[in-house]
Structure 1
């Protein structure tokens, strides 16, 4: 039987799922896309994150499900939509884990002045380490996650305080150098830092009193992530100015705070963030993966072997292509992000059917906002749509086959369909 989770451990898992190595890179990327106006993009997505947190908390209370998104969508939209959402989520895990590890590995390699081959090797080491961590089970993972989050808070606090002393008012002008539409353009890649509520959804079944614990967990998670994101985004613009678009903005802020040692600390933070994010996602996905493949006998607290093998295969292909220079990391980041956005579409649509009152309206607003961000992902959403469609068609075919076996049609050659034979005349 799975060990119950406390509020603090659960909040650490949620925070770890939302935060990732993108926190070290995306403030610079969004600043390069939208200038100082990128702060508005962060604020808008924090509003969306709050709506999603509210919706998932309500689903966890009123529709408790150990399988998380699969159970929610099945009850709200049916088995076809549930299969599409579930497999898209797991596809996001398979595609996203190597990419998240590459962000961390690339950050370390850049700071060390090394090339992409070194970045891929570091990413491979990180991925193997986190797979080993999750194989120990949920309890071990939550303990490690709690320590990683505390360390992350300390690192970001040092970055923000150090950068605040170097802030300049002139760095905020012009406020929107690339136009106001750039705020929406920056939202697509930035959404990678705001996916995570769906990964932690299955953890609600590990709570002893979700009705009272979940609101506290969501409040802690939103408070921590809002403070981290907004303060880091604002200080990146205010302190770095023209250098805000750097691929290593946190390293520059830490260097302002504590000197050359800040570069080393930034590299270590990249590894910590990567470990924490992938750890939280794999821990949250374990129950869902087992529910989709019930014949596989393995501990429900650990990801099934087939999922780990799929991640390793995906990582091997991506690391090889990136190391050879056939692909660029920036072109891949939005692919898993789009998959998680499709998951949010399914969950918010299901919440509209299952919930009532103000949270039902929140689900509708979140659905529209997520759909708008999906539009900015362009062709990156194609793999997500393909996975969802294939999963839906497969479930529809399986359901129809089950129905046909339960209610077989009369055979064309049965006696009921053959005309009655007239008796032979007597002679």
Structure 2
């Protein structure tokens, strides 16, 4: 069944409007105070050229490989492997952060602080691992329902809480200086990751050249409107308390509606997180297998979906032990996402013909380069991951060449049959 514009719009909104919105207003306010609204606006404006670039690429080159396909067409397999590695190794870092958002809402209801957050993470990741091990899937329709529930929750939150807004909460506007806006923007990349999924969906549209740009344009407006409405309402209603909130949506609903809203938002947060983590772990298990198939990862470790899934699980558990606060973990993940955007928009500059679309791609390329710089030292992880992918490809190529090279026959050895594949290729 092919996608209509309405269905494509819903899937695109679902890909971008993820779990981050339940906690990002607080994280951005912690970094920049009310000035975080500038970062929100900047990211929303950036979404337009970035989403449009991937939509045009998807319309011109409809392929489920998405960004990886475009980078391979533009720069070759090594760069495509770098894109795959950045996605794959960002998932174990992102899973604990995503679960921490839901854990904050659960702790807000039952108490327990960080211990409750950790238990929530173990529950979510363990459940999703078991589901994927046995081949159980949360259907696309359920994912869309969860996204729809989130969108309705956001609308109710804004409508009921906005009458309690106070302009005085905008001062002091930049308590951490103007540099805090850049830090907030780097954190907010988390909430806008997903536009690349638009291009991956392009083969499923009835008419990719016509429908992908239309669906993307509507999705940009919907996502941008919801994000900005929630951010503005959070700052104006909660004021200085926003930066210290574990559950900003629950706090807003408590102000606007009252009653047992905290328990309701905690349940919604956990369900959303299960859906999001399921999507990422299921996708990562397939990505790891595909990378192993293409020689970008060792097949002995990543050659099957269960092996790849198990690696992601243990890497996720290990990342919880890293001595990083949530803020830093998010920057590490968004640094990887941003580098993928850098490579994707760079590929667009090579693949798209001269014209308006290429100009938009140039704007997006410059903007994501700026975001990568704003991420600061955590962005170095993305560069290390990309370098690791390229280094592994080079090492494997040298190893294959060495095995395939004919042995010297001066010592009486027999030269290999040129029609026989090297052992590494057979494996």
TM-score range, shorter chain: 0.7 to 0.9
Conserved 8 A contact 2:74-2:351 = yes
Unaligned 5+ segments in structure 2 are 296-303, 413-427
Q: Secondary structure at the match of 1:224?
A: helix
Separation in 1 of the partners of 2:401 and 2:8? Answer: 41
Separation in 1 of the partners of 2:4 and 2:174? Answer: 44
Q: Secondary structure at the match of 2:377?
A: helix
Q: How many residues are treated as equivalent by the alignment?
A: 402
Q: How far does residue 23 in structure 1 lie from its aligned partner after superposition?
A: 0.9
Separation in 2 of the partners of 1:312 and 1:199? Answer: 23
Kindly report which structure 2 residues correspond to 1:38-77, keeping only aligned pairs within 5 A, or say none: 38-77=36-75
Mark the CA change 1:278 to 1:220 in structure 2 (over 3 Å): closer, same or farther. farther
Kindly report which structure 2 residues correspond to 1:87-236, keeping only aligned pairs within 5 A, or say none: 87-131=85-129, 141-199=139-197, 201-236=199-234
Q: How far does residue 258 in structure 1 lie from its aligned partner after superposition?
A: 1.6
Partner of residue 257, structure 2? 258
Mark the CA change 1:330 to 1:180 in structure 2 (over 3 Å): closer, same or farther. closer
Mark the CA change 1:114 to 1:169 in structure 2 (over 3 Å): closer, same or farther. same
Separation in 1 of the partners of 2:294 and 2:384? Answer: 26
Q: Secondary structure at the match of 1:378?
A: coil
Mark the CA change 1:199 to 1:287 in structure 2 (over 3 Å): closer, same or farther. farther
Conserved 8 A contact 2:59-2:213 = no
Conserved 8 A contact 2:286-2:308 = no
Conserved 8 A contact 1:98-1:314 = no
Deviation string 1:258-289 (CA, Å, 9 cap, x unpaired) is: 21322112212321332343344456556644
Separation in 1 of the partners of 2:307 and 2:208? Answer: 31
Separation in 1 of the partners of 2:54 and 2:338? Answer: 14
Mark the CA change 1:90 to 1:9 in structure 2 (over 3 Å): closer, same or farther. farther
Separation in 1 of the partners of 2:282 and 2:27? Answer: 29
Conserved 8 A contact 1:134-1:283 = yes
Partner of residue 307, structure 1? 308
Pairwise CA RMSD:
2.9
Q: Which segment is superposed worse, 263-272 or 303-312? A: 303-312
Q: Secondary structure at the match of 1:332?
A: helix
Partner of residue 349, structure 1? 346
Which of 384, 388, 391 is the aligned partner of 2:389? 391
Separation in 2 of the partners of 1:213 and 1:139? Answer: 28
Q: Secondary structure at the match of 1:65?
A: coil
Separation in 2 of the partners of 1:387 and 1:404? Answer: 26
Q: Secondary structure at the match of 1:165?
A: helix
Unaligned 5+ segments in structure 1 are 297-302, 416-427
Q: How far does residue 355 in structure 1 lie from its aligned partner after superposition?
A: 0.8
Mark the CA change 1:10 to 1:277 in structure 2 (over 3 Å): closer, same or farther. farther
Mark the CA change 1:231 to 1:129 in structure 2 (over 3 Å): closer, same or farther. same
Conserved 8 A contact 1:64-1:204 = yes
Mark the CA change 1:281 to 1:216 in structure 2 (over 3 Å): closer, same or farther. farther
Mark the CA change 1:412 to 1:369 in structure 2 (over 3 Å): closer, same or farther. farther
Partner of residue 244, structure 1? 242
Separation in 1 of the partners of 2:168 and 2:93? Answer: 41
Conserved 8 A contact 1:19-1:273 = no
Partner of residue 299, structure 2? none
The answer to whether 1:338 aligns with 2:339 is no
